[in-house]
Amino acid sequence: MPDDRPVPLDEYPVHQAPLSMRHVTTGDRNAHDRSVFHVFDHEGRALLVTGLGVYPNLGVIDAYATLRLGDTLHAVRASDALGDDRMRLEVGPLRTTVERPLRDFVLSCAPDPDDPEGLSYEIQWSADFPALWEPHHEQRRGGRLTVNAKRFVQAGRCVGWIQVSGERIRLRPGAWTGTRGRGWGVRPVPGEDGGRLARDHPAEGLHRIWCPVRFDDRFLMVLTEEDADGHRSLNDATLVRPGHRDRQLGWPQAEITYRSGTRHPERVLVHLGDIRKPLELEAEVLASSPLALGAGHAPAGDWQHGTWHGPGWIDRRTYDLTEPHPVTAQGVTAHAARFRLDGQVGYGIFEHGSFGRHDLSGFTH
């Protein structure tokens, strides 16, 4: 008989279906429930990306942290069997503590007892603005629904410390920014044969911008996702100011200057606007972290989200970013950046991936 006893979360009035909170309403193997946090300084020295994911129909919980410091990427990854306590956001040395929902979090990575030079941290992450919903994301491949997901984003400030290679970095107030995304639904997880529909409808290309930006008194979110022909499946540009109605800024159009011979952005200008006043968002890249290295995003070869590596799996490693890594040309990269908008300076993440064909950018293969 299957173990189908109630779990602790069933004590709370949070149910959305006549099921235990142990279960999701879909039997799709690709069901997920994930979070990601970005922590970075305003000079471009350090960029920390950390996240945690639950895959209820695969029975897996996993987490990761990567720190870009100079030309080295320090990574910690952990995976385990999914247990009953969904309110304990912890895998191996990595933990996310929700002190006040939608407001205050503690992000921590315990030191490796066998390697005192390895990555560890404890960071207080505090939101400065209300959470903002992204548009509902839905994609089909042939007739099959492959993406059906919802996410919100936020920006805030960070204090605490990061320790690596014998150095303790203090996160001082006003000198560091944090952004985060929190999403759930169905999204492809490695290990599945998509069958005839995947073979008959191959993805020719993807061009994606995910860009949360924190200014002193406002928060801006820009989001676009286009296929090879330039058709958009996601489009949003919203400016949030406490005490004001959210301001929609139309159809964002990005001009990206890439490093010669690559798809690595060096300068970005995003045209925004509404009926009152067109705006231009300018981005200066400070530090970059390719999410296919260490962070588990496709097409990573050593570990990807939701994959089973056995109970209590923990992996720590470093990557030399001066060496070529073929997977980085096919994946998404998180860029910490300094932004300018309407005379104000802010800081945020310009997460970007452009691979395969994208006609609007002039990429033909």
The span from the CA of 86 to the CA of 21, in Å, is: 9
Nearest CA among 279, 278, 274, 266 for reference residue 337: 266
C-alpha–C-alpha distance, residues 360 and 227, integer Å: 10
Q: What pLDDT is attached to residue 68?
A: 98
DSSP string over 225-279:
EEETT--EEEEEEEEE-TTS--EE--S-EEEEEEPTTS--EEEEEEEE--SS--E
- Domain 31-185+196-361 listed as CATH 2.40.370.10: yes
| Amino acid at residue number 240 | V
CA quadruple 272, 276, 277, 281: dihedral, nearest 10? -30
pLDDT of 1 reads 44
Report CA 342 to chain centroid distance, whole Å: 27
* Helix, coil or strand: residue 329: helix
Indicate the SS3 state at residue 156: strand
Separation CA 78–CA 62 (nearest Å)? 6
SS3 content of the chain, % helix, strand, coil (to 5): 5, 55, 40
pLDDT of residue 2: 54
- Residue pointed to by tokens 């007739």: 143
CA dist 232 and 332 (Å) reads 17
Identify the CA nearest to 186 among candidates 233, 146, 223, 213: 146
Instruction: For the chain, 365 residues long, give each residue's pLDDT as a single digit of tens.
Output: 456 789 989 999 999 999 999 999 999 999 999 999 999 999 999 999 999 999 999 999 999 999 999 999 999 999 999 999 989 999 999 999 999 999 999 999 999 998 888 999 999 999 999 999 999 999 888 888 999 999 999 999 999 999 999 999 999 999 999 999 999 999 999 888 778 877 888 888 889 999 999 999 999 999 999 998 989 999 999 999 999 999 999 999 999 999 988 888 989 999 998 767 889 999 999 999 999 999 999 888 899 999 999 999 999 999 999 998 888 877 899 999 999 999 999 999 999 999 888 888 888 87
Query: Phi/psi at 259 (nearest 5 deg)?
Result: -60, 140
Is there a contact between 325 and 278 (Cβ–Cβ < 8 Å)? Answer: no
**pTM across the whole model:** 0.95
Q: How many residues does the chain have?
A: 365
